[in-house]
């Protein structure tokens, strides 16, 4: 039985900062458990655990990750396509796989990701400009000008499901 722990007050790389990093590990009988306590990032937290069990004939992998109150505005500079979106991201990922090779594990992948963005808004000013230009040719095209520049939502959510691998049976809503 091998136990381990890592504790770091703050870890910075380029413009990314992780706060209050606490990771615990346990290796026993061919099973590795890694537990990540809530880490401060992007104004929220990320936490999770990973279990890798190779004590049997095939390797079993399971992982759970929880994102809480991630500030989308702080995340956006890393994803330029989202530069007009604001809000708080909450997500939960729970996946498992097993097999004797990476391909076998990918073929057995099962699990889900659920997400919700709250207190959010989307700037549609550029989209509005495009539609205003298009509808200028129409006799009643001025209705687009009445659109707001920013649309606000109380919550936007969805999920991603995998059943029996990554090749088929995915669902995204």
- The string of pLDDT tens digits covering residues 90-109 is 999 999 999 988 888 888 99
Instruction: Give the Cα separation of 48 and 39 in Å (integer).
Output: 10
- The string of pLDDT tens digits covering residues 10-33 is 988 877 889 999 999 999 999 999
Residues in contact with 118: Cβ distance below 8 Å, sequence separation at least 6, in sequence order: 87, 88, 90, 154, 155
Q: pLDDT value at position 112?
A: 94
pTM of the model: 0.75
Instruction: Give the Cα separation of 63 and 12 in Å (integer).
Output: 25
Decide if 8 contacts 24 (C-beta within 8 A).
no
Q: Is the predicted pLDDT of residue 85 greater than 90, yes or no?
A: no
Q: pLDDT value at position 126?
A: 61
pLDDT-based confidence at residue 151 (cuts at 50, 70, 90) = confident
Instruction: Give the Cα separation of 103 and 98 in Å (integer).
Output: 10
Rounded to an integer, the average pLDDT of 153-167 is 83
């Amino acid at each position: 039985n091998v136990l381990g722990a890592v504790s770091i007050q703050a870890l910075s790389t380029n413009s990314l900062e992780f706060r209050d990093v606490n990771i615990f590990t346990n290796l026993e009988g061919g099973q590795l458990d890694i537990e990540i306590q809530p880490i401060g990032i992007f104004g929220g937290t990320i936490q999770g655990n990973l279990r890798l069990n190779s004590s049997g004939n095939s390797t079993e992998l399971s992982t759970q990750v929880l994102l809480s109150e991630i500030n989308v505005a702080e995340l956006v500079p890393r994803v330029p396509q989202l530069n007009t979106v604001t809000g708080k991201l909450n997500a939960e990922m729970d996946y498992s796989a097993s097999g004797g090779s990476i391909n076998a594990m990918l073929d057995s992948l099962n699990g889900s990701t659920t997400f919700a963005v709250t207190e959010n808004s989307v700037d549609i000013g550029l989209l509005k400009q495009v539609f205003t230009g298009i509808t200028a040719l129409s006799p009643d095209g001025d209705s687009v000008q009445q659109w707001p520049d920013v649309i606000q939502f109380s919550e936007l959510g969805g999920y991603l499901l995998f059943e029996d691998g990554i090749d088929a049976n995915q669902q995204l809503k």
